[in-house]
Chains A and B, each alone.
Chain A
Amino acid sequence: MSSPSPQPKPPRRSLLETYFRLAPVTVPLYAILVACLAGSLFILGAGANPLVAYGALLDGALGSPDRIASTVARSTPFIIGALAVALGFKAGLFNIGAEGQLLLGALTAAWVGTWSWLAGTPPLLAVPFVLVAGVVGGMVWGFIPGVLKARTGAHEVITTIMLNAIALGIASFLITSRDPALLIDDRASTPHTREVAASVRLPTLVEGTGLHLGIVLALALCAATWFVLQRTTPGFEIRTVGVSREAARYAGMRVDRTVIVVMTASGALAGIAGAAEVIGSGSGYLTPGAFTNIGFDSIAIALLARGNPLAVVPAALLWGALLSGAPLMQVEADLSVNLVRIVQALIILFVAADAIIRLLFRIRAPRGVDVGEPAVFARGWGG
């Protein structure tokens, strides 16, 4: 009864249908709008003018070519990190562990990047080598929860949270330990790792803004992930496992293996995010507490992008823009940068609870047209 009787007419797309196809885009857009409006209540409460504040935010993020470059630089690790989380979503896995995987990738890259023989190697070989090292670091941290899930049914949310804590401990030990001195640069006054060789550094794109070649890598990875998911047989298996484990089993797909592969690949991507930051950003070394929250923010961005590997790019750019515009807002409107955090949280709140937005703006759920299967954000515990 609920099924509309299909008419045998050619599939010409009506204006209305086009509108509904856009619903996956309109919901996040409206969510951003509502979040900004709600955020202005906080700004008013803090005694500032929302227009001035948002104006300064915009100016700080996009006010000049250099500022735009800084925003993009800021967004780069978010793009790759969110892509890692989004890939997990596609297989119905909620990888909370991007934070730890990213850190492990950064650590291995920071360590391998100091190997002396790399200093004399041409960058064309040295850079990929260090990136692969980062991949390996992240992979290990993704493979563990994958195997635990597939073999024992341990829920990835629990295991990845725990692995985050372990990764943090490992990183802090490796970076700060002086006796034995492991990765620490013992000539430095504040603890940080030794600087990686010049030959493994990613080329800077815009001087003085921190924008490095990592952005190109990030965009390429998004496109590649989209292609793998949509156009290849492993991608077909990943998506099927994500929307219906039962159907995947029926169709002869190896569900357990897919879970392991996706968690490992997700960890690998997060590892690249960390590695690219180490060898791309200014310092070339790791400090304790570096990259804090990039992995967690990546989860939020992946949610905003609704698990779509291409939508991750604009979502991460928005995220980066809010963060890189915040300091100017703080100066001009005399507001805490934490306000940006509030707006970010509101955006995710409205995206996750999209029923609110659909109700406010009367957006109907798309019906009957192929807009791509919905991302499964999380399954029941132990599912």
Chain B
Amino acid sequence: MPVLRVRGLTKRFPGVTANSDVDLTLHRGEILCLLGENGAGKSTLMNIVFGLYQPDEGQIEVQGHPVAFSSSADAIASGIGMVHQHFQLIPVMTVAENVVLGKESRRGPFLDIDKARAEVRELSRRYGLDVDPDAIVGDLSVGAQQRVELVKALYRDADILILDEPTAVLTPQEVVEFFDVVRSLVESGKSVIFITHKLREVLAVADTVVIMRAGKVVAAMPASGATEQSLATSMVGREVGFEVTKGLAAPGQVVLAVRDLQVADDRGHTTVRGLELEVRSGEILGIAGVEGNGQRELVEALAGMRTPLAGSVEILGHDTTGWSPRRVEMLGVGHVPEDRAKHGLVGTYPITDNLVLNRYHRRQFSRRFLLDRAAMTRNANDLIQRFDVRTPSPHVLAGTLSGGNQQKIVMARELSGDLRLLLVAQPTRGLDVGSIEFIHRQVVERRDAGVAVLLVSAELDEILSLADRVGVLYRGTLAAVMDRADATREKIGLLMAGGGEVA
């Protein structure tokens, strides 16, 4: 008897059918990978199973009994636990306090924290989770916080664990450890649904793969016998080219030179510490690293959005340290920011306005103080076509477009014009395979046209397929810079975890 069975599930949102007639079966002791592109309906499906949404049609059975959850509390009571992509932990509290929060054991009116600590210790011992009940959550690494989330679910007697993109925040080594934990969970009788869009992980850990596309289950099969190519083809619905086709780089003069750069984040902590790098025209320098190692501050300092504490930035021979974003941009620097919704776009502006967000002051779009609306519309029509933005009109609000189309707008704006240096941060986060291909191609094209490219990405695959040289950012410094040919997945992974200091 399956522990979880979903039959004929349909969920509609205004204008979209997020899930359409979805079937899914999970057995005891099974690791089921739910694979699909962003927007395929994976998260909706799991949110329904976890009681956060109610289905329009269809049935859910847990341990053979039909259930109808009206909230996640019902789902938890039925033995379902979910670890969300964004952890739901309170950083200032201890591990034990976080675990028992909402389901505290009491002694009279008081919290029985000793009992909670003992239970956390017992759970972490039984499943090999290595969690210290007295540690403050905010001090823990991301990987350890994830284990706390798992303990939280297990503390609530979850038999079915739903993990939403759990590896997105981990280093390659942490991913390996995490898979060991997952295996030990299923060995002790738990069942796991693992949401991901990374094919490599599916093949490494899954027993069964369920592939979703456009709200439907398009394939369900045992993981043995599947290949990356076959999975990708059914996920995307067509043949996918994995390798970015690009020729050898022809590096020219140094365009960007950074010396002993030190930058602080918004809270005043120095996150970039004495970083040095050079990027030449016609090459892509890829910066790998787990997020939060100074990537954001580095890119913002180069783009003029953040004033460095010390050190210098030189672009095309100009000392641009402390320059404003406007002056940096006027040198021919394109900046694709890491958070496109916050920085790169104004969601309530139409596409036309977003495409001139930082160029409206140029002669092309305004004379004296008057905006040339006609020129803006012409520009939009032109770029929409060149960058294949799917939209009915250039006057559609950017916020209503899909992530891929939003990113294409940012790329279109930053890559157009007289480009000499391109700063790209996490360019394909949250995008579908089709958009990723397109954006990668665009970046390589600019490189071939002689643009110097600095690519910062947490996706190791992206770095490895695009970069000509690879650097690893660890705690605010470049742990190493090497030619792409010398950069193996293992070597980079080790450096990402700080292994460079020992080696």
Contact = CB atoms under 8 A, between A and B. Distances in A.
Contacts of B246: none
Contacts of B303: 250
Interface string B25-49: 0000000000000010101100000
B337 interface: yes
A6 B325 contact: no
Most buried by B among A1, A250, A254: A250
B343 A1 contact: no
B346 A240 contact: yes
B370 A232 contact: yes
B349 A368 contact: no
A243 B348 CA distance: 8
Task: Please report whether the interface of chain A is mostly helix, strand, loop or mixed according to DSSP.
Answer: loop
A244 B39 contact: no
A5 B349 contact: no
B350 interface: yes
B491 interface: no
B325 A251 contact: yes
A246 B343 contact: yes
Nearest to A366: B397
Interface stretch (B13-21, B76-84, B250-258): B13-21
Interface string B350-376: 100100011011000010011101000
Given A233-B366, A243-B349, A251-B358, A1 B371 contact: no
Contact of B343 (A3, A234, A250): A250
B348 A373 contact: yes
Interface residues of A, number: 34
Interface residues of B, number: 48
B71 interface: no
B390 interface: yes
Interface stretch (A7-15, A152-160, A285-293, A339-347): A7-15
Contacts of B16: 1-2, 4-5
Nearest to B328: A252
Contacts of A8: 390, 392
Nearest to B342: A246
Q: Which one of B44, B326, B327, B360 has the highest number of Cβ atoms from chain A below 10 Å of its Cβ?
A: B360
Contacts of B395: 11, 369-370
Contacts of B402: 3, 5-6
Contacts of A5: 16, 390, 402
Contact of A233 (B43, B305, B327, B369): B369
B346 A6 contact: no
A374 B347 CA distance: 11
A5 B360 CA distance: 29
B289 interface: no
A236 interface: yes
A252 B413 CA distance: 14
Contacts of A6: 390-392, 396, 400-402, 405
Given A1-B41, A236-B353, A252 B358 contact: yes
B396 A244 contact: no
Interface in A108-152: none
B346 A244 contact: yes
B403 to A, nearest CB: 8
Contacts of B13: 1-2
B369 A234 contact: yes
A247 B358 CA distance: 9
A252 B343 contact: no
Contacts of A244: 342, 346
A252 B360 contact: no
B391 A233 contact: no
A35 to B, nearest CB: 28
Given A1-B41, A247-B343, A250-B344, A233 B360 contact: yes
B236 to A, nearest CB: 16
A370 B392 contact: no
A231 interface: yes
B283 interface: no
A171 B374 CA distance: 49
A11 B18 CA distance: 25
B164 interface: no
Nearest to B400: A368
A367 interface: yes
A6 B405 CA distance: 10
Given A3-B400, A233-B360, A374-B348, A9 B392 contact: yes
Interface string A244-283: 1011011111100000000000000000000000000000
Interface in B291-348: 303-305, 324-327, 329, 335, 337, 342-346, 348
A1 B337 CA distance: 23
A249 B397 contact: no
Contacts of B305: 249-250
Interface string B394-424: 0111001111010000000000000000000
The 4 closest A-B pairs by CB, nearest first: A252-B326, A251-B358, A373-B348, A252-B325
6 contacts: A1-B18, A1-B39, A1-B43, A4-B15, A234-B369, A243-B348
Interface of A: 1-11, 231-236, 240, 243-244, 246-247, 249-254, 367-370, 373-374
Given A11-B396, A244-B346, A368-B400, 12 more contacts: A1-B41, A6-B405, A8-B390, A11-B395, A247-B346, A250-B335, A250-B343, A251-B358, A367-B400, A368-B396, A370-B397, A373-B349
